[in-house]
Amino acid sequence: MTSLKDAVFRDPAENLVDLTRKLSVAEAFGLLVDGDLPVRVTAYDGSSTGPAESPYTLDLRTRRGVHYLAAAPGDLGLARAYVAGDLGVDGIEPGNPYPILRAISDLKLRRPNALQIAAITRSLGWDVFRPVAPPPQESPARWRRLTDGLRHSRTRDAEAISHHYDVSNTFYEHVLGPSMTYTCACYEDRAWSLEQAQENKYRLIFDKLRLTDGDRLLDIGCGWGGMVRYAARRGVRVVGATLSRRQAEWAQKAIADEGLTGLAEVRHSDYRDVTETEFDAVSSIGLTEHIGVTNYPDYFGFVQRKLRDGGLFLNHCITRPGNLRAARAGDFIDRYVFPDGELTGSGRIISDIQDIGMEVVHEENLREHYALTLEQWCDNLVRNWDACVAEVGEGTAKVWGLYLAGSRLGFERNVIQLHHVLATKLGPDGRSTLPLRPWWNA
């Protein structure tokens, strides 16, 4: 039997809500919120909740939006409603929703209890909990991707890379800027431009790898060939590999345009298809996130086999701040950004590199540098919003605004990090020919 106490609910705006009567949409939304509501919420039936003085408003425009939120409480439901246009956001630029993401960063949506479900269904109808088709930008659930092969098989890896990187080279030019570099930059000064910081990142990696004129470099997961071309300009012979056909085509043209064809090449291929060995150095800039944590030993073993004795390996990747959390990404990232992506701590990466017999000689965390990089990518997206929407559609552009701004917040709050790990392949006698102290400028 339901008691009077059970039939009353205090909503996020601190109003008492009688669950025995028909609820407005805003009141029903309040049942999904765990704790205080930091922003204003309005709904298509004219109802509202939350602080009226908030500079930001979530506007639930359609019944379909309620379906999304009820069927998938949390970041996935919010993302679906926002990307589809069923949830409007007032007070921000869609290319940079960072301010409202920061405002609602502690907001938690929960699954309502039985009494609350009854109140919602009585007010809005039972079908509100019926799943509806997600926006077309969403990748299928993990179990549905089995049609593309087992996780991190060659076929499925190719599909995952294509989902993210084959959006549009023109779109990436608008967001990434002239460097076409989609990895963390390295800032000497917070006032630096994005291009200065990206050039400095390549300089840092080049120096860490002790590359000189005539050396050979393998760049795994080379993207649009930024590192490939940087090294080739300095006389290094470079092979780059990417699973993205559009990246490879863009990079091949850029190599030809710069007159670097004799020194550099970018292949549209799986890195495992590179047959050459005896490289002086191997760089892996932003690939480890895609290969799967359980595949690290095989991956680092492949790198070791590609190096000559005394060669150097630089691994640049996003990590978690610890090594105990599950590796899989959250629902929004997995469905909309990096299907099958996995992250772990830098300790796991270092251990696996050591366990295959390489010596780790240096590591550093560039977490704050990535937050600055993402801020400037968002600035580019805002500046070029109309062109980006024209190129890929408003839904996809919104996904990128959410992803870049949310990632910036994650780096700022130490939810994720960016680590450089430098290792060397020792010779048979275990002796190292490296200088005793770091030989590069930070």
**251 and 106 in one domain?**
no
Question: Concatenated DSSP letters for 394-409?
Answer: HHHHHHHHHHHHHHHH
**pLDDT of 192-207, one tens digit each?**
999 999 999 999 999 9
Quote the distance between the C-alpha of residue 405 and its chain's center.
Answer: 10
- Residue 225 Ramachandran class (φ > 0 left, ψ -120 to 50 alpha, else beta): left
Residue 395: pLDDT band with limits 50, 70, 90: very high
In this structure, is residue 7 part of a structural domain? no
| Confidence at 3, pLDDT banded by 50, 70, 90 | very low
135, 395 contact by CB (below 8 A): yes
- CB under 8 Å to 430, separation ≥6 — which residues? none
Asked whether residue 434 is assigned to any structural domain, the reply reads no
pLDDT in tens, 246-288: 999 999 999 999 999 999 999 999 999 999 999 999 999 999 9
Strands (E), 16-131: 16-18, 33-34, 40-43, 48-49, 57-60, 87-90, 108-109
Q: Which domain CATH number covers 408?
A: 3.40.50.150
Burial 298-311 (b: 16+ CB within 10 A, else e): ebbbbbbebbeeeb
Query: How many other C-beta atoms are found inside a 10 Å radius of the C-beta of residue 21?
Result: 11
Q: Assess whether 55 and 181 both reside in one domain.
A: no
Per-residue pLDDT, 2: 41
Tell me the per-residue pLDDT of 40-96, one tens digit each, with 9 for 90 and over.
999 999 999 999 999 999 999 999 998 898 888 788 999 999 999 999 999 999 999
pLDDT single digits (tens) 290-342: 999 999 999 999 999 999 999 999 999 999 999 998 888 788 888 888 888 89
303 & 237 share domain: yes
Residue 102, Cβ density class (10 Å: 0-12 exposed, 13-18 middle, ≥19 buried): middle
Which pLDDT value is given to residue 1? 37
% of the chain at pLDDT higher than 70: 90
258 and 385 housed in the same domain: yes
What is the structure's pLDDT at 284? 98
In a domain, residue 73? The reply is yes
How many domains does the structure of the chain reveal? 2
Is residue 155 pLDDT above 80, yes or no? no
Q: Name the pTM for this structure.
A: 0.90
**Residue 138 maps to a domain:** no
Q: Identify the domain containing residue 224 by its residue range.
A: 156-424
- 163 and 278 share one domain: yes
Are residues 220 and 85 part of one domain? no
